[in-house]
Amino acid sequence: MLEVRPAPPLAAATRNARGEASSRALMDVASDVMRLKDLLASRSTSAISRYEYSMLRLLLLGDPRIGPAMPTFVRTCRTLEQVRAFSGKAFPGDSAPETFLDEQFHPLISWFEACYAPSDPHLDEGCPRR
């Protein structure tokens, strides 16, 4: 049985592994996360999709603010082919991969939403200062 573990909590750090300040705007990062989720939901296997998955994955995993909070399967599947193999084992046939993607990306997307539209002052705890 395939085990899916929740992602670790989001990091509020704004420095990369070498201690350099992160220069990407958080909204750009949020846009890339949504693009990655949409790419995975589309089940495309074109060469452009394979390249885009690899580049988005590297870009997002390299961001210390969100890299550790990316879904486990994104952290472990380096290529789109590996994602397809993983989803084939996790979802034989067409059994709800969209629901799985929604569950896996929900904590990350919720964090972005809280950072940009907090309804409660405690929600933006850990969000980088704007």
107 contacts 18 by C-beta, under 8 angstroms: no
Q: How far is CA 47 from the centre of its chain?
A: 21
DSSP string, 13-77: --B-TTSPBP-S-HHHHHHHHHHHHHHHHHT--SHHHHHHHHHHHHHHHT-TTTGGGS-HHHHH-
Cα-flanking dihedrals φ and ψ of residue 123, to 5°?
-65, -35
- What is the pLDDT at residue 76? 93
> Mean pLDDT of residues grouped by 10 in the chain (130 residues)?
44 48 73 91 82 94 90 92 79 67 88 70 52
- What is the pLDDT at residue 8? 44
CA separation for the pair 27, 111 (Å, rounded): 12
- What is the pLDDT at residue 34? 92
- What is the pLDDT at residue 23? 54
